[in-house]
Structure 1
Amino acid sequence: MSPHDGSGPKDAGAKAKTRAFIALAVFLLILGGTYVLQPDDFFLYVKAFHVIAVMSWMAGLLYLPRLFIYHTDAEIGSDRSETFKMMERRLLKVIMNPAMMVSWVLGLYLAWDIYGFQGGWLHLKIAMVVGLTAVHMFFSRAVRDFAADRPRGAASYWRIWNEVPTILMIVIVILVIVKPF
Structure 2
Amino acid sequence: MLYLWLKALHLAAVVTWIGGMIMLGLTLRHAVAGRPPDFQRLLAALHGWDRRVTGPAMGLAWILGIWMVVDAGWLGANWLWVKLVLVALLSGLHGFLAGNLRRLAGDAGWTPPPSLRLALPVTLAGLAVIAAMVVVKPF
Q: Shared topology, TM-score over 0.5? A: yes
Q: Secondary structure at the match of 2:75?
A: coil
2:120 & 2:18 partners in 1: Cα distance? 11
Asked if 1:55 corresponds to 2:10, the answer is no
Contact kept in structure 1, 2:50 and 2:98, CA below 8 Å: yes
Tell me which residue corresponds to 2:132.
174
Structure 1 residue 82: deviation in Å?
Answer: 1.5
Q: Secondary structure at the match of 1:117?
A: coil
- The alignment yields a C-alpha RMSD, in angstroms, of 1.5
1:64 & 1:87 partners in 2: Cα distance? 11
Structure 1 residue 148: deviation in Å?
Answer: 2.3
Structure 1 residue 62: deviation in Å?
Answer: 1.2
Contact kept in structure 1, 2:90 and 2:123, CA below 8 Å: yes
Identity of aligned residues (%): 26
Structure 1 residue 88: deviation in Å?
Answer: 2.3
Residue of 79, 88, 91 corresponding to 1:130: 88
Q: Which amino acid aligns with 2:20?
A: G
Structure with bigger RCO (C-alpha 8 Å, 6+ apart): 2
- 1:82–1:70 distance in 2 versus 1, CA, 3 Å: same
Tell me which residue corresponds to 1:113.
71
1:82 & 1:66 partners in 2: Cα distance? 15
Structure 2: state its 5+ residue gaps.
Answer: none
Structure with bigger gyration radius: 1
Query: What whole-Å deviation, never above 9, does each CA across 1:43-92 have from its counterpart, x for those lacking one?
Result: 100000000000000101111111112334127xx5x1321221320231
Residue of 51, 71, 74 corresponding to 2:35: 74
Tell me which residue corresponds to 1:9.
none
Asked if 1:164 corresponds to 2:125, the answer is no
Structure 1 residue 128: deviation in Å?
Answer: 0.7
- 1:121–1:89 distance in 2 versus 1, CA, 3 Å: same
Contact kept in structure 2, 1:66 and 1:162, CA below 8 Å: yes
Structure 1 residue 153: deviation in Å?
Answer: 3.0
1:146 & 1:60 partners in 2: Cα distance? 17
Number of matched pairs: 136
Contact kept in structure 2, 1:53 and 1:99, CA below 8 Å: yes
Q: Secondary structure at the match of 1:46?
A: helix
Contact kept in structure 2, 1:85 and 1:143, CA below 8 Å: yes
Tell me which residue corresponds to 1:89.
47
